[in-house]
Structure 1
Amino acid sequence: MEESKLEPNEMDEEFNSFWDKVSCYVVTQFPYKERCDFVQNATDCIAGTHFVPYMRTLACDFKCVNQFQELVFITLFVLLCFLLLLCLGHVVDMYYGPALKVVSRMMHMNEHLAGVTLLAFGNTSPDLFANISNFDGDNAVFANSLSTALFVSMFTGGLVCYISPFKMNAHGTIRDVLFFILGVSLLEYVLNTDDQVSMAECYVMVMVYLFYLVVNILDVYLMRISMKHMLKEIENLRDQRQTPEVRQRLKYLENKYDEFSDDAKVEILERTSGMNRLSTRPTSINGNLNNKFAFATKVKTVRQSVEINAKRNVFYNLTQKKNQNLFREFIQSLTPIDCEEWREASMFIRAYLLAKVPVVLLCALYIPLVDYELDKNGWSKLLNVCHIFINPFFTVVIFKALLMRADKKQLWYTAIKDEYKYGFYTFIVTIPAALFVLCHSRTDVPPVYHWLYTIMNLTGSMFLIFVCASEIDLLLEVIGNILGIDNDFMGVTVNSVTGALGDLVANSVMATQGYEKMAYAAAIGGPFFTVLMATGAVLYVKILHGQVPTAEDQTGEYGLNAYIFLNLGLFATLLWTSTLNFYARRSIGIFSMGIYLLYIFFAILIWQGTVHSYAKDATLKDAFTSD
């Protein structure tokens, strides 16, 4: 009698695919001695890793055998988060911010338009790519997106107001907030109409955001046309007889022109020592500056914009050799600590400077500096020649290793051996370009094509921002799961903050440098991009891969709370801006940050079970269904 062959059933298939489907954080429920075997077999312990496999490191490399050792290593992870945060802040302050100002001037943008486009997209795009790459997760996209938007608009926007009070772009701010309310309402409507999202609804969200960009661009274009007509009329009125009616009309046009000129373009400002940057106001047409607000609030003194060529040619001397002080300048550019700053620093500041040494060296070797506020615009000939082949090589190799690894059980640094050849392909273009720059340029003045380095500056800066922000996000996720904190709670609190660290650092740095309007515009435009484009893209990818995003899954326990608090904050912004005549004060900054902290307070109470969230109660729902 022939033996009957057993056909695999659903349980067999589930067992065979166990290691591919199980979450890596399930390991926390195993005894410490068995954890190493688990993380070596679970695909998620590698697939969910960006750079360092933390769970494998804890279980296998550190051989953690009790809770005390686990807490010690968690402390080391927190220190690593601090170092990554230092790197993030240094990149934004020294490289990313100045590059945005250069691009803004090249594209003839004003501060507001640069904030809602370049700065907003640069801040949110790393988080967008990270969310799309993790589309198959069970995260509540709606809740997490609105929590991130709430943090950026209320906390980061409030911090900008607190750091440097300023006169806002009135019509631009109102328009952006109204569009933001529309975007939030549209996302909520899309999720709750038929309890799921379709591709057509994703397209609608994208179209609304594109329409918003078109409106912003047209606004700047029409404003500049109006300024030209105003200037012609002002000149004509000055040539006429100065009757009371003419003087009244002339005064009105001059004040209107001053208001428009304040938003006309991105000014390059004179750099001061340290981080204490002063706010600026362009000179008005009648030679006066409106300092009433600055006097009333005792904000920083006005400083004037500087001529770019003056900074560019400050050391230009044709009597010197073309490569004068070539190697000395190279060493000075790589020096991680300024000697004068070290001598004047306290013990705490010296410890901070020492902690930044690896960060400063890494950034100096990888990212070319283009800053119109610095002497020679940041040009260092030999170092910039090295950047031509260093920056593209490492960007291509590491990015390909992270993106193109087909084997989910392979770490990124083991995938480099298969992807490094793509980096060598860049040498075909970069080495001849480096030799050309070495032979053509001078050490005492940047070449006319120095602005091209902005491309490498932006790609390098955004790549490091993505690496730092995503790694901090992953580190805190690991810590939260080890400590047994609920995933939904982590998503709307810790993860939403870490995902928006780029926004927080970039907007704060821009505010300290005197570009408050750009920073606040990004605090509104960035989360608007997150709500429509980023959320729509993630939902679209989910649908493409056969998933059905439902309102219940995407909202979670905290989604409606985030929706209500975000609308509360946006309507409060409309109220205080119109009430205070668009003067952003420090008290308003504290008020805005308080709205976000109140949301966190409610989230903690919901997590502890003290209060009920706005989500549907499953018990009551079942009771009504049975009746």
Structure 2
Amino acid sequence: MASSLSHKYYILLNLCFLFGLCFIFKTHHLITPNLPTLSSPSITDGCEALDRFKDPETKCWYIKHNNPCVNQGYINYLHLFYCVCGGSPLLGYALLVSWLLVLFYLLGNTASEYFCSSLESLSRLLHLSPSLAGVTLLSLGNGAPDVFASIVSFTGAGGSANVGLGSVLGGALFVSTVVVGVISLYVGERRVPIDRSSFFRDACFLVAAASLLLVVFVVGRINVFGAIAFVALYVVYVVVVSTTHLCNGSEKQSNSNSNPSPPECDELGAPLLGFVDEEKPKPKPTLIENDDPQIEKSELYDRLRQLVWVLGLPLYLPRRLTIPDASEENWSKPYAVASATFSPILLAFIWNSQIGESKKLAIYVCSALLGATLGSLALVTTERENPPRKCSLPWVAGGFMMSVTWAYITAKELVGLLVSLARVLGIPSSVLALTVLAWGNSIGDLMTNVAMAVNGGPEGVQVAISGCYAGPVFNVLVGLGVSMMFAAGSARPGPYLVKGDSSLYETVAFLVGGVLWVGVMLPRRGMRPDRVVGGGLLALYLCFLCTRLAQTLGLVK
């Protein structure tokens, strides 16, 4: 789409957006005030004291003068809700929900468009086998939103570790019940059998991961070695999967598992918010009919693409200018030079947000010099038409690192928004993590796995069902394992305290119950998913939602 605009107009749009971005960063302190704390014997520190006030004016005063909650993100959402939108709560809720949808899109689209692309390139450079790549890099690409949200919640201040636990457990429950249930309903009439050994292997590891996490909840603490045990169990899972493929000689089946990787990686992409990527072909609209339909359709289609491209520019341009992309389909030398120049500056901005004021100027100067050097090298050593071929590893590594950086930024903002929204609604943050965050991060699995099962034939059903269990295994063992490893390392020499509430215990129970339901019913149905299996899973998840709703409303303690 950019090629259809004049070069000068495109540069003007970029410069205008960068100017607006600089203005936002400049006025950031106006959004997040850092005022001195007033000493008052009647007011205590922490978000709990905020609940003592009833009207928005006093809550705004308390937030300004006490800064009660440590935000995970870069925006003080409590100040935005009570101070900026204090006179209109509906406007505040509309802004928070709209921004929540945007963050979900950014997190999923970054994972699908940039993170998965770098993982696929990395897999080719490392010459990984399809089966090994499927249970490592592909699982990492599919579970990236949950993993990053979990890491941010454990490593950030403010005691929001339950957000990460709720996100991973809620997503695992959603995928293993709702997604498997919908697949079973769709393919029930086709009577397609699935492999018994593969199912029980994945189901047993999922139950083992949930049981290990339950032990952590009961003990209430974990150290670095306990967190390493989570990752070690996933290494065992990878070895078992690889050994199974080698012993059975099922490399053909492994290839079939790896072929659908692009739709698996497309989590929360275009279908979520209707964002249309200008670089991909799209079907033409067929809603308008007149004397010359082809011309009218083409004109309307071009106008819609222009409108969508302009609206999506604030979400597309910052990532495109800072994430190196050396793939054949997305190669652009101007963008490559820009990403090599601006990526060190973005890293410096994130680094400076974590340290004191004394070293910020030196870090910005060093990052600007490094960016200018890398940009000059990219300008001299790259071609305009073709991406680098001989020295592609630095570009792939840079794309991987910067896509992780953008996913971390988005996940940090998403966790901060959910914690603040839970404070505004007066409910535990783990409840929103178990529902809203889990749904947002798992909607891509629902769309892609169901489409794969419906359109992929018998092998597609096998891959879809396997993905519904292998993905949660990765998220629980690696996502939570790495998160708790970071948290336990920062808490040394003592252990890291894990305060699991009742909702997390219940989620583990529903998760294990769903796996056991399928494990009992599938052999009785000849290992063929049908309406009985799917209906039972959907009913189980509906019971979970009713339980959460009743507890949130105070109907059940």
Contact 2:131–2:241 (8 Å) recurs in 1: no
- Three-state SS of the structure 1 residue aligned to 2:502 is coil
- Three-state SS of the structure 2 residue aligned to 1:21 is coil
The answer for the alignment partner of 1:182 in structure 2 is 208
> CA-to-partner distance for each residue in 1:339-381, whole Å, 9 max, x for gaps?
978856599998766543322333332333355xxxx343223
Given candidates 338, 357, 382, the residue that maps to 1:386 is: 338
The answer for the alignment partner of 1:130 in structure 2 is 152
The answer for the alignment partner of 1:424 in structure 2 is 368
The answer for the alignment partner of 1:560 in structure 2 is 505
Mapping of residues 275-424 of structure 1, within 5 Å: 343=299, 355-371=311-327, 376-394=328-346, 396-402=347-353, 404-406=354-356, 419-424=363-368
Q: Confirm or deny that 1:197 pairs with 2:221.
A: yes
- Three-state SS of the structure 2 residue aligned to 1:366 is coil
What is the identity, as a one-letter code, of the residue corresponding to 2:475? P
1:548–1:97 Cα change, 3 Å? closer
1:270–1:520 Cα change, 3 Å? closer
Deviation at 1:263, TM superposition (A): 0.9
The answer for the alignment partner of 2:56 in structure 1 is 32
1:148–1:44 Cα change, 3 Å? farther
Mapping of residues 17-96 of structure 1, within 5 Å: 21-23=45-47, 26=50, 29-45=53-69, 47-60=70-83, 62=84, 64-66=85-87, 69-96=88-115
Normalising to structure 1: TM-score of the pair?
0.63
Deviation at 1:169, TM superposition (A): 6.7
> CA-to-partner distance for each residue in 1:378-408, whole Å, 9 max, x for gaps?
32233223322223432x1232134x2348x
- Three-state SS of the structure 1 residue aligned to 2:254 is coil
Contact 1:152–1:503 (8 Å) recurs in 2: yes
> CA-to-partner distance for each residue in 1:554-574, whole Å, 9 max, x for gaps?
232323321210111122343
Mapping of residues 562-577 of structure 1, within 5 Å: 562-575=507-520
1-structure distance, mates of 2:105, 2:163: 29
Contact 2:221–2:496 (8 Å) recurs in 1: yes
> CA-to-partner distance for each residue in 1:405-429, whole Å, 9 max, x for gaps?
348xxxxxx9965742352253375
What is the identity, as a one-letter code, of the residue corresponding to 2:368? F
Q: Mean alpha-carbon deviation: is it higher for 176-185 or for 465-474?
A: 465-474
Query: Paired residues, what number?
Result: 481
Normalising to structure 2: TM-score of the pair?
0.69
2-structure distance, mates of 1:540, 1:336: 44
What is the identity, as a one-letter code, of the residue corresponding to 1:99? S
Given candidates 488, 497, 501, the residue that maps to 1:540 is: 488
Q: Mean alpha-carbon deviation: is it higher for 116-125 or for 337-346?
A: 337-346
Contact 2:170–2:507 (8 Å) recurs in 1: yes
Contact 2:331–2:387 (8 Å) recurs in 1: yes
The answer for the alignment partner of 1:209 in structure 2 is 231
Q: Over aligned residues, Cα RMSD in angstroms?
A: 4.6
1-structure distance, mates of 2:215, 2:254: 35
The answer for the alignment partner of 2:15 in structure 1 is none
Contact 1:190–1:197 (8 Å) recurs in 2: yes
1-structure distance, mates of 2:129, 2:524: 25
What is the identity, as a one-letter code, of the residue corresponding to 1:387? S
> CA-to-partner distance for each residue in 1:525-573, whole Å, 9 max, x for gaps?
33332685156437735853767737xxx23232332121011112234
What is the identity, as a one-letter code, of the residue corresponding to 2:349? I
> CA-to-partner distance for each residue in 1:195-219, whole Å, 9 max, x for gaps?
54353xx624522531431441364
1-structure distance, mates of 2:531, 2:135: 22
Q: Mean alpha-carbon deviation: is it higher for 575-584 or for 47-56?
A: 575-584
Contact 2:522–2:528 (8 Å) recurs in 1: yes
Contact 2:171–2:441 (8 Å) recurs in 1: no
1-structure distance, mates of 2:389, 2:502: 57
2-structure distance, mates of 1:535, 1:444: 39
Name which one, 1 or 2, has greater alpha-carbon Rg: 1
Deviation at 1:78, TM superposition (A): 1.6
The answer for the alignment partner of 1:261 in structure 2 is 252
Contact 2:178–2:541 (8 Å) recurs in 1: yes
Contact 1:27–1:39 (8 Å) recurs in 2: no
Work out the percentage of aligned pairs sharing the same amino acid: 16
1:459–1:452 Cα change, 3 Å? same
2-structure distance, mates of 1:74, 1:114: 42
Given candidates 386, 394, 402, the residue that maps to 1:460 is: 402
- Three-state SS of the structure 2 residue aligned to 1:52 is coil
What is the identity, as a one-letter code, of the residue corresponding to 2:114? Y
